[in-house]
Structure 1
Amino acid sequence: MQRASQVLRAALASRRDTSSDDPVVLYAMACRFDMRDLAVAAARRALRTEIMRSSVSELDTIGVSGGCLYRLLEYQRRCKSAIRSIFNGTDWIESDMLAQLQDCCSLQIYHPTRNPCWYDEYMSSIGEQGWPKVEVVQDDLLLLTVLESAEKVQRMNYSSCSSCFDRRGTFLLIRFSKCVASAIEALEKKVTLKWTVPPQAQ
């Protein structure tokens, strides 16, 4: 029996990075067999997964407790909440990047700490997603749309910025999107998967 359990655990561990597996089901199985490292890895893969879209019958077959699913839901909620800080100011931006942002716009002579003309449009676009993915915040089409939209607003306001939409400003947006992606990853990694749950969730 012990040998069978070891084989099963090894089989589960080997599926840690298998993208074809349902991460919620993998998480449930890891919890069922008290494989916490695997459960944490699966929980990270399941961050933006609709938990209740997973096969309910399969979860029932595994015999996962309500407490396990509660922990996963709570983990998702706390990760989503953690990254909202990037929309509440610029404290999260490294000083070097912040200096580049504030040195980009040619209109900064009127506003010394002004961010690039595309900054608000970009942050608004990724903020609309609620919980933006790392890949999405760096998406080429998104960045192009942001530049076009922000430049259109500039023309409508009869403003004339000579730097935010040239090559330098465009490359800065690309670098900034990578900065945002790194910040999202770092903030999510700071959140830990808890193993204690309220009695009512057991």
Structure 2
Amino acid sequence: MTTSTDIRKLASLDDWDLVNSNQDLRGKTLHDLQGREIGRVDDMLADVHQERIVGLRLHDDRIVNIDNVDIRDGRPVLTVDPGRVPAPAAGFDRKAVTSEHVPIVEETLEVGKRQVELGKVRVRTRVVSEKVSEDVALRNERVQVERRPMHEAISGSDAEALLKEGTIEMTETGERIVVDKQAAITGEVVIDKAVDNRTERVQGVVRHTEVDVDRDKDRR
């Protein structure tokens, strides 16, 4: 009696669940007993009729019999000579894997904006000195003393009143230049930003996967 096999990749069996999530070895690296890397586990192979995991499929398409693999510290370890890995383990036929997944990849162009510096504008203030001149008219007041000859007869009482000592004082005045400075704002420089908007077209090349199916003609 021949037992039929239906080996499929675990990724294609949506209704399958592993009893223990730690048993999911996909994405982990297979090591040998000396700790050397053998390859990354791309998928696990399941025998649908026997309802059990029977092998590991590495990223380079090599197949490892699950009976030759232990899980140690959460990582798969090959318990046999790694030289046996390239050939399919006993009972395996690559053509028996009835489900393959071809990923279809499509790129999209994402355009964003970032702010950059286009340059700086510097406004400096400097103090400039210059010589100025102005004519100013000055006025002086001086006391003048003048003797005038007179001959006038006066009475004795008038003579008595005039024959007294005394001092008459007058002040001479003059103008001198006084220099002061007054500051005033005569204008201003306004520093502001002007915003202009523009539209630029961005072109790029994106790729996508197209799948072509070629079927051999029946030879009869």
**Shorter chain as normaliser: what TM range?**
under 0.3
- Greater Cα radius of gyration, structure 1 or 2: 2
TM-score normalised to structure 2 length: 0.24
TM-score normalised to structure 1 length: 0.25
